[in-house]
């Protein structure tokens, strides 16, 4: 009889998942790994899921409050799962504002109430009426207001899980290197969240790219106990890879991009050019602009309106209105057709129409390569990804 309760709970979770999926438009079933991660997380297990870009990682945690609610409606007090929970809440730690904004919109499409910390929904978040609560590591770790909220009776009762999205950034941004301070130290302190919430609250750590040492660091930093590890190869057969050595600062390698825009205008295939620095972004942008001249705008727009600009830039210092123009174009197939960017663009975001990705200089590690190449072909169509390098860059990046 000792095994009856776990078996009963597992069956009830299966029924709840089936019920929720039946109520959603466009989602008839889950992939095997999505379902495995969802069930383990709902059962109270820590989960480390390494799933490729475009695989549907976000759907796993988006479904949690819905499935939990459906489970409670049918099981009530008959199971020991989710004791005392009335309004299931999941908190999500996310590295970028743009990513949070995108995920809030995606959740709304599924009928899920979602919001990010520090916005117009703070009172609703505090009251416990928001199902998915997004926040940066700094908000969750360094802001006493949100720490106090997590430790409150309401959240200790209703919080059913913690999600850390793009978890590979924990050690990249959270830990210093060679005596230099960490870029964003709060990333390395996310394990503190466990001390604020009720004991046994599970953690779901998500990423598309983490080598074996990175996985072990993540598990250690988050104090994950007996974590369920779910891994799908990041290899994507629809992405054709290219590698080309070019002279230093010779941007003629981008002339095919110039030709594509000149010939096709706002119908040109969308391309992201990832650069290693803001200086390199400036070089790329000015080269494209100089080569295209008036052709850099839709119908040679004499007023040079931002919304009609076919070239965009995206980095940490880009003006908000220009960032929004780029994000809207990539999400909704707008006029901006080629974007020079740092890694600040695209991490975890769904850009369905990007058909080419260029790496103008190699990232520091293979995780960066996978993340940046993974921005292309998310709809499964055949796409191109090329890495341009000069001199000994590849040797230095090993």
Residue 216 shares a structural domain with residue 247: no
pLDDT level of residue 53 (50, 70, 90 thresholds): confident
Q: What is the mean pLDDT of residues 262-267?
A: 95
Q: What are residue 32's phi and psi, to 5 degrees?
A: -55, -45
Domain boundary among 231, 263, 293: 231
Residue 39 shares a structural domain with residue 178: yes
Q: Residue with structure tokens 């975890």?
A: 348
Segment among 20-29, 175-184, 241-250, 309-318 with least mean pLDDT:
175-184
CB atoms within 10 A of CB 31: 14
Which two structure tokens, joined as six digits, stand for 349?
A: 């975001």
Instruction: Count how many domains the chain has.
Output: 2
- CATH number, domain containing residue 297: 3.40.50.300
Domain boundary among 200, 231, 262: 231
CA angle 200, 99, 385 (to 5 degrees): 115
Query: What's the pLDDT tens digit per position in 312-326?
Result: 999 988 888 888 889
pTM of the model: 0.83
Domain boundary among 231, 249, 268: 231
Q: What is the mean pLDDT of residues 95-100?
A: 87
Residue 380 shares a structural domain with residue 341: yes
Q: Is 295 exposed, middle or buried (0-12, 13-18, 19+ CB in 10 A)?
A: middle
Question: 85: helix, coil or strand?
Answer: coil
Residue 33 pLDDT exceeds 90:
yes
Q: Is 96 exposed, middle or buried (0-12, 13-18, 19+ CB in 10 A)?
A: buried
Express as a percent the part of the chain with pLDDT over 70.
96
Domain holding 85, by residue range, is 4-231
CB 19 within 8 A of CB 11: no
CA-nearest of 206, 130, 199 to 168 is 206
């Amino acid at each position: 009889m000792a095994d009856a309760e776990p078996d009963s709970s597992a069956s009830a979770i299966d029924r709840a998942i089936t019920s929720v999926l039946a109520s959603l438009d466009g989602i008839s079933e889950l992939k095997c790994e999505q379902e495995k991660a969802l069930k383990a997380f709902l059962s109270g297990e820590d989960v480390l899921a390494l799933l490729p870009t475009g695989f549907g990682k976000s759907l796993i945690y988006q479904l949690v409050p819905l499935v939990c609610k459906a489970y409670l409606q049918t099981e009530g007090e008959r199971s020991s799962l989710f004791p005392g929970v009335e309004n299931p809440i999941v908190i999500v730690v996310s590295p970028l504002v743009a990513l949070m904004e995108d995920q809030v919109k995606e959740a709304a499409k599924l009928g899920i109430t979602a919001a990010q910390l520090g916005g117009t929904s703070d009172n609703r978040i505090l009251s416990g009426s928001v199902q998915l609560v997004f926040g940066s590591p700094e908000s969750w770790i360094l802001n006493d207001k949100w720490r106090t909220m997590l430790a409150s009776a309401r959240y200790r009762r209703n919080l059913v899980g913690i999600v850390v999205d793009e978890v590979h950034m924990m050690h990249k941004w959270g830990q210093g290197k060679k005596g230099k301070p960490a870029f964003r130290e709060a990333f390395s302190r996310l394990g503190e969240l466990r001390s604020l919430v009720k004991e046994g609250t599970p953690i779901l750590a998500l990423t598309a790219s983490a080598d074996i040492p990175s996985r072990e660091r993540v598990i250690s930093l988050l104090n994950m106990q007996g974590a369920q590890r779910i891994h799908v190869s990041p290899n994507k057969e629809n992405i054709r890879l290219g590698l080309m050595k070019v002279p230093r600062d010779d941007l003629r390698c981008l002339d095919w991009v110039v030709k594509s825009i000149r010939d096709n205008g706002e119908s040109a295939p969308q391309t992201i050019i990832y650069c290693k620095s803001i200086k390199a972004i400036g070089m790329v942008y000015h080269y494209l602009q100089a080569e295209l001249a008036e052709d850099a705008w839709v119908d040679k727009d004499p007023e040079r309106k931002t919304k009609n600009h076919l070239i965009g830039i995206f980095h940490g210092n880009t003006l908000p209105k220009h960032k929004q123009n780029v994000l809207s174009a990539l999400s909704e197939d707008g006029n901006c057709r080629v974007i020079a960017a740092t890694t600040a663009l695209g991490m975890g975001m769904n850009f369905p129409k990007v058909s080419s990705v260029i790496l103008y200089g190699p990232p520091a590690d293979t995780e960066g390569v996978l993340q940046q190449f993974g921005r292309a072909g998310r709809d499964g169509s055949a796409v191109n990804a090329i890495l341009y390098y000069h001199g000994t860059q590849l040797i230095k990046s090993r």
